[in-house]
Amino acid sequence: MGEAGGALQPFVQFLNIDSSHAVRLLTPYFERPISTPITVFCVAIATEDGCFFSGLQKRFEMGHMYPTEFNAEINEDRSPICLNAEYADRNSRPSSNNYIDNGSPHGGSDSEDCANAARGQLGPGSWHCYVAIFNGDQSVIRIDGEEESIDCVRTIPPSFHACLDGITIGSDHSFDMSLCFGEGSDNEGEGAISELAFFKGSVHHEDIVSLESHLMRKHGIQFPKTSRIERINDDYLSRLAHKLMEQSPSCANRKKDPDKEKRHVPLRYMTGLRQVAWKQNNTVTGRQLSIKRIGNKSRNGSTSEW
């Protein structure tokens, strides 16, 4: 039980009992695979890159994953929301190698893993109500009642579809991108899911808005109060703050990278990081964390501040 988005609601964190290793939940195989379009509602949080769910054997993923070259420049571990599935021709015979990458069989290499990806814009770090419609390059992603601008890696022919053969919850189907890291540092890979619902077909827009509103009220998730441009800019600066915090002083030398002159980060984004802030709440549970102040030193059981 924790504070999901501001309301006390149950959620699942995908860690074993001593929180040392990531785990996942698996459904049985469906009697018959379900083909796209498929609509998914997911109330969840990712604190860094990780996959909310996928298929059992076939790729059918939603999560913050597959950083682009631009995203890696900001922070390679805080990718935008992404949908990714293996699409095949409806008229072809089912086989293990008929999933395509620009017309070629899917070979499973790193470059091909995200061949069918549809990316939104916002990165991880907060509780959100995600809505996704898996439908090739006509896919839709919504976050907290607003539709994301989608960037598709390639065009998928209308005759192609993807199939969901079962559900892997808390990681991708191959357990390479878990939502919880395990044995990580504070706030590293502490993702969680509160609700997850799948609907066959493309749910009508009016029904999406209605169910979306219900889930957001239930979990205390606020509708955006700032403009779309402001949200994207805030997300960019937040990810850039994490990137700058990870760098060593030598990497921050502007003489080595003239472009850094253009990448100023307001102090409020830096002071919100766990390494800096003196008062912090756990991003997932909402519980206040005990922070040791800089300059606090224990001597013979007593405490003094320098």
Contacts of 110 (CB under 8 A, 6+ apart): none
206 and 273 share one domain: no
Please determine, for residue 5, whether its predicted confidence score (pLDDT) is greater than 80.
no
Mean pLDDT of the chain: 80
Q: Write down the pLDDT at residue 186.
A: 60
Tell whether 91 is covered by a domain. Answer: yes
77 and 105 share one domain: yes
Q: Write down the pLDDT at residue 9.
A: 76
Residues 119-167: tens digit of each pLDDT: 999 989 889 999 999 999 999 999 999 999 999 888 999 899 999 999 9
Please determine, for residue 104, whether its predicted confidence score (pLDDT) is greater than 50.
no
Q: Write down the pLDDT at residue 2.
A: 57
Q: Which residue would you say has higher pLDDT here, 19 or 69?
A: 19
| Number of domains forming the structure of the chain | 2
Confidence of residue 224 (pLDDT cuts 50, 70, 90): confident
99 and 26 share one domain: yes
Confidence of residue 75 (pLDDT cuts 50, 70, 90): low
> Which is it for strands 140-143 and 146-147: parallel, antiparallel or unpaired?
antiparallel
- List C-alpha distances in Å: 113 to 149, 153, 270: 22, 11, 33
Tell whether 124 is covered by a domain. Answer: yes
Q: Which residues span the domain enclosing 119?
A: 2-218
58 and 185 share one domain: yes
Please determine, for residue 97, whether its predicted confidence score (pLDDT) is greater than 60.
no
Per-residue burial over 216-230, b if 16 or more Cβ lie within 10 Å, else e, is bebbebeeeeeeeee
186 and 117 share one domain: yes
d(CA 254, CA 199): 50
Q: Write down the pLDDT at residue 95.
A: 44
Least confident of 6-15, 41-50, 217-226, 276-285: 276-285
Tell whether 304 is covered by a domain. Answer: no
Where is the domain boundary, 218, 253, 269?
Answer: 218
Where is the domain boundary, 187, 218, 249?
Answer: 218
263 contacts 272 by C-beta, under 8 angstroms: no
Least confident of 19-23, 104-108, 231-235: 104-108
Q: Write down the pLDDT at residue 191.
A: 92
206 and 239 share one domain: no
Tell whether 282 is covered by a domain. Answer: yes
Average pLDDT over residues 157-180: 95
10 Å Cβ neighbour count for 33?
Answer: 17
Q: Which of 35-44, 66-75, 114-123, 270-279 has the highest mean pLDDT?
A: 35-44
212 and 233 share one domain: no
121 and 42 share one domain: yes
61 and 163 share one domain: yes
56 and 162 share one domain: yes
Tell whether 297 is covered by a domain. Answer: no
Q: Write down the pLDDT at residue 10.
A: 86
Average pLDDT over residues 69-93: 79
Residues 259-305: tens digit of each pLDDT: 544 567 877 767 777 666 667 677 777 777 676 665 555 555 544 44
Q: Which residue would you say has higher pLDDT here, 120 or 70?
A: 120
256 and 152 share one domain: no
> Which is it for strands 34-35 and 163-164: parallel, antiparallel or unpaired?
antiparallel
Tell whether 300 is covered by a domain. Answer: no
Q: Domain holding 13: CATH number?
A: 2.60.120
Q: Write down the pLDDT at residue 105.
A: 35
Please determine, for residue 250, whether its predicted confidence score (pLDDT) is greater than 90.
no
Where is the domain boundary, 170, 198, 218?
Answer: 218
pTM (two decimals): 0.79
Q: Which residue would you say has higher pLDDT here, 237 or 70?
A: 237
80 and 177 share one domain: yes
Q: Write down the pLDDT at residue 141.
A: 97
51 contacts 234 by C-beta, under 8 angstroms: no
Tell whether 306 is covered by a domain. Answer: no
Tell whether 281 is covered by a domain. Answer: yes
Q: Write down the pLDDT at residue 125.
A: 87
Q: Write down the pLDDT at residue 306.
A: 39
